[in-house]
């Protein structure tokens, strides 16, 4: 450690203001109990997603997302040694479904939010940096999106494109990008006028260099917080669309669909109202904890980066 510290580059590294800020923020995350819970939940799900094939060994390795089922009996069976969480209707194994469903959830969250982030960054930067007529047009489009019933629109888009998980993701990207473009534009507008940007421009830096090196790194925090909150929200919306029957075909490892499969077994027969509790409760709890993890983290980040509360 000592010999490392003697090197100039390490000393520079430690004093770099952006890194110092990052260290400060990270220490705040670790001191906040809520964000710690959030981080641990995300870490847990990340571990499940990493070691999925070891936790729930697929019977057919070529299509691991298909939940195995024994027979076609519609009546769910309670947890047993072979099926730790029981089986849902048509004997799909709940344990296998929720474990592989973790990968589906991460895929939905990262793909949707990642795509929206990229589209929002490009559109928002163009809008905010150049201004003028382009800005006006883009902002009016985002205004109109604000006035649309987005869930109904997303449902119609999935139906039009064909019912599948991929189309759910596409529809969420179509309805989701405007708010990102708007947020990025807003923060770029304030930063564009800062002295350090003027200085860079005066020194003859090119447009792209100014945007990527000086403006975006300072404008990106609000949208990153939005993104961390949205991973949960998007997984939640996708699950709702899946639940309404717009998702993958039956038997695909997807939490929303598993709750949907449980629909006819909410209330048990006379005298045993909780007979089928596991069918609906377990997949729902997986959705809840996954979303909760991201929301807790995003919420803490929002407080930490709030300039009005920072360093108080």
Partner 1 sequence: MNFLNYIIRRLLLLIVVLIGVTLIIFALLSLFTPEQRASAFIRDIKQLEHIDSIIKTYGLDRPIFVQYFNWLREIFRGNFGWSTTVSRPAIEAFKNFLPNTVELALFSAPFIILGGIWLGSVSAVHHDKPIDHFTRFLSIVGWSLPTFWFGLVLLMVFYGYFRGLFPPEILGYKAQVFVESGEFVRYTRINTIDALLNGRFWIFVDAIRHLVLPVITLTTIQIALVMRIMRSSMLESLGKGYVLTARAKGAAPRTVIRKHARRNALIPVITVSGWLFAQLMGGVVITETIFNRKGLGWWWAKAATQLDIPAVLMAVLFNGALFVVINLIVDLLYAYIDPRVRLR
Sites for partner 1 among residues 230-259 (CB under 8 A): 232, 236, 239-240, 243-246, 256, 259
The residue among 122 and 148 lying less far from partner 1, judged by its C-beta, is 148
Span interacting with partner 1, options 83-91, 105-113, 131-139, 141-149, rule CB under 8 A: 141-149
CB of 67 to partner 1, least distance (A): 18
188 exposed, middle or buried (CB, 10 Å; 0-12, 13-18, 19+)?
buried
CB of 89 to partner 1, least distance (A): 14
Is residue 280 a contact residue for partner 1 (CB under 8 A)?
Answer: yes
Handedness of CA 101, 152, 113, 25 (dihedral sign): negative
Contacts 24+ apart (CB under 8 A), 213-220: 215/125, 215/129, 215/188, 215/191, 216/121, 216/125, 216/188, 217/18, 218/187, 218/191, 218/194, 219/128, 219/184, 219/187, 219/188, 219/191, 220/121, 220/184, 220/187
Number of residues lying near partner 1 (CB under 8 A)? 53
Span interacting with partner 1, options 7-15, 49-57, 157-165, 190-198, rule CB under 8 A: 157-165
Is residue 108 a contact residue for partner 1 (CB under 8 A)?
Answer: no
Contact criterion met (CB below 8 Å) for 231 and 169: no
Q: How many residues does the chain have?
A: 312
CB of 80 to partner 1, least distance (A): 22
Structure tokens at 293: 């993890």
Contact criterion met (CB below 8 Å) for 183 and 173: no
CB of 143 to partner 1, least distance (A): 7
Residues that bind partner 1 (CB under 8 A): 33-34, 37, 140-141, 143-149, 151-153, 155-157, 159-160, 232, 236, 239-240, 243-246, 256, 259, 262-263, 266-268, 273-274, 277, 280-281, 283-284, 287-288, 291-292, 295-296, 299, 306, 308-309, 312
């Amino acid at each position: 450690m000592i010999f490392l510290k003697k090197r100039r580059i390490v000393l520079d590294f430690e004093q770099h203001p952006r890194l110092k800020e990052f260290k400060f923020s990270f220490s705040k995350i670790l001191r906040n109990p809520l964000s710690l819970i959030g981080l641990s939940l995300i870490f847990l799900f990340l571990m499940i997603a990493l070691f999925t094939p070891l936790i729930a060994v697929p019977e057919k390795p070529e299509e691991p997302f298909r939940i195995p089922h024994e027979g076609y009996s519609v009546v769910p069976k309670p947890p047993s040694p072979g099926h730790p969480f029981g089986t849902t209707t048509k004997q799909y194994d709940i344990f296998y479904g929720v474990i592989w469903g973790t990968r589906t959830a991460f895929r939905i969250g990262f793909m949707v939010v990642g795509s929206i982030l990229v589209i929002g960054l490009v559109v928002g930067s163009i809008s905010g940096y150049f201004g003028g007529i382009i800005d006006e047009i883009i902002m009016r489009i985002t205004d109109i999106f604000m006035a649309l019933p987005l869930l109904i629109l997303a449902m119609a888009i999935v139906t039009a494109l064909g019912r599948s998980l991929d189309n759910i993701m596409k529809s969420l990207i179509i309805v989701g990008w405007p708010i990102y473009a708007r947020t990025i534009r807003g923060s770029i507008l304030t930063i564009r006028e800062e002295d350090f940007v003027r200085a860079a421009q005066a020194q003859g830096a090119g447009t792209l260099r100014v945007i990527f090196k000086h403006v975006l790194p300072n404008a990106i925090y609000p949208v990153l917080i939005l993104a961390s909150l949205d991973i949960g929200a998007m997984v939640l919306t996708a699950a709702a669309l899946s639940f309404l029957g717009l998702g993958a075909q039956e038997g695909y490892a997807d939490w929303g669909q598993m709750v949907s499969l449980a629909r006819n077994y909410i209330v048990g027969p006379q005298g045993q109202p909780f007979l089928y509790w596991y069918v609906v409760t377990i997949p729902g709890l997986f959705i809840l904890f996954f979303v909760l993890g991201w929301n807790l983290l995003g919420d803490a980040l929002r407080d930490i980066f709030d300039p009005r509360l920072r360093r108080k």
